[in-house]
Amino acid sequence: MSLLDIASTAAIASYALLSTAYKSMQTVYALPTSVSLGSKELVGSDLLPSVDVIVPCFNEDPRTLSECLASLAQQEYAGELRVYVVDDGSGNRDAVSPVHATYAHDPRFNFILLRENVGKRKAQISAIRRSSGDLVLNVDSDTTIASDVITKLARKMKNPVIGAAMGQLTASNRSDTWLTRLIDMEYWLACNEERAAQARFGAVMCCCGPCAMYRRSALLLLLDQYETQLFRGRPSDFGEDRHLTILMLKAGFRTEYVPDAIAATVVPGRLAPYLRQQLRWARSTFRDTLLALRLLPGLDHYLTLDVVGQNLGPLLLALSVLTGLAQLALTGTVPWWTGLIIATMTIIRCSVAAFRSRQLRFLGFSLHTLINLFLLLPVKAYALCTLSNSDWLSRSSPANGPNQAGEQVAIRSPIAGSGTTELSENAVPRRTLELARDPST
């Protein structure tokens, strides 16, 4: 046996052992339990925590934004609810103004218009510092949430040791393309395997941005750290959801997953945007893994295995593929052993997912293995080599030119405070209040 054969066999064997141990334990810990840290019942509305919903927007499609805000307006939450929509210097502000006007009469809705694009994180912080609710729910502008999501997340947050909780994500455009179907299944696995297993120990490592609730008292303690995240001395302004979750865990709070709080978000329908998104997420994961390592000694041993499996596993898999391809190129020998192990593990994983979800479509998720091997692994390798790059990659140019407003304005409902009443272009009464520019912007 040549040195190349030995390297190939060792790499795939190591990957198989690590992945089998990790995925087996993950499947067991992800199984539902009858133990719940939250109350099954909510008390009277006068005792319910107040909730502020933060919706940062940048060049969002008006129809998508309208659907998002409609889902918030239809919430069945009995407590006090306020919504802060932050337009982050969008170039299509004229196009989304009618959407703003539709909800200007609703006393729960407040609109903050930033003069220039400052990034999602600072847009969130701009609203957080102006709001006052007991709980803060971050919702992406391309996401719609079920009418009971706020109720279910608030119920979980009644436990004071919980600093953050996320709902289950699905793809709202699942039926558009073969890729969106795969991403929807990927989200199901990420939520109902990875997050569900982590939640068994109160340590979800990333409360995903499309729908994540935070305790304000905990959030305020961490806001400065969150806003000023640096990596190698340079500002790091993406991966905000993962970084904020890690900060919550570092501060001693639990982070949870609520599987029946359903949020549907728009996912990329083409490979190029999907790979750019994955590159950004990979950089964020690698950066915050370094911070998460300090937490592991105080957490359950499974979470150490989880971090090792998610970071060392892809490295071993990439090594297996590279040595297999080298073996084929240099010796003409087909690496059957490597191919057989990868195929077997793929079939087992997809079969378990199909059984747990009671959906045969998960058998088709095996196609994702090819994407992982030949596209995502190179993307992750590139991400590891370019960790200092903080380009968002997905921020498109404004379709209608730059915003010419020249000032930051908060458009609030009549209950929000006094000001000069104006009529919008759509003849919908609303109040406007000039604000001094926020220091964070």
Asked if 57 contacts 90 with a C-beta cutoff of 8 angstroms, the reply is yes
pLDDT at residue 389 in the model: 77
- CA distances for 229 relative to 58, 291, 373, angstroms: 21, 11, 32
pLDDT per position as a tens digit, 246-258? 999 999 999 999 9
All structural domains of the chain with their residue ranges: 3-27+302-385
Q: Residue 31: which residues within 8 A CB-CB, separation 6 or more? A: none
The phi-psi region of residue 36 (left if phi > 0; otherwise alpha if psi is between -120 and 50; otherwise beta) is beta
pLDDT at residue 392 in the model: 58
- Whether 410 shows a pLDDT value over 60: the answer reads no
pTM exceeds cut of 0.75 = yes
Give the three-state DSSP class for 152.
helix
- Whether 158 shows a pLDDT value over 70: the answer reads yes
Task: Determine the residue type at 177.
Answer: T
Query: What's the half-sphere exposure (Cβ side, CA atoms, 13 Å) at 24?
Result: 7
Q: Quote the CA–CA distance of 12 and 313 in Å, as a whole number.
A: 10
Q: Which pair of tokens denotes residue 90?
A: 């969008």
Q: Quote the CA–CA distance of 62 and 59 in Å, as a whole number.
A: 9
CA angle 205, 57, 390 (to 5 degrees): 55
Sheet holding 162-171, edge to edge: 143-145, 254-265, 162-171, 211-215, 135-139, 51-57, 81-88, 109-114, 409-412, 429-434, 420-423
Asked if 162 contacts 252 with a C-beta cutoff of 8 angstroms, the reply is no
pLDDT per position as a tens digit, 254-304? 999 999 999 999 999 999 999 999 999 999 898 888 888 989 999 999 999
Mean predicted lDDT score pLDDT of the chain: 86
Taking each helix axis as running N to C, give the angle between helix 271-292 and helix 377-385, from 0 to 180 degrees, rounded to the nearest 10.
Answer: 50
Asked if 60 contacts 96 with a C-beta cutoff of 8 angstroms, the reply is yes
Q: Quote the CA–CA distance of 370 and 25 in Å, as a whole number.
A: 24
Task: Determine the residue type at 148.
Answer: D
pLDDT at residue 306 in the model: 96
pLDDT per position as a tens digit, 330-368? 888 888 889 999 999 999 999 999 999 999 999 999 999
pLDDT per position as a tens digit, 74-129? 999 999 999 999 999 999 999 999 999 999 999 999 999 999 999 999 999 999 99
Closest CA relative to residue 166, chosen from 196, 130, 134? 196
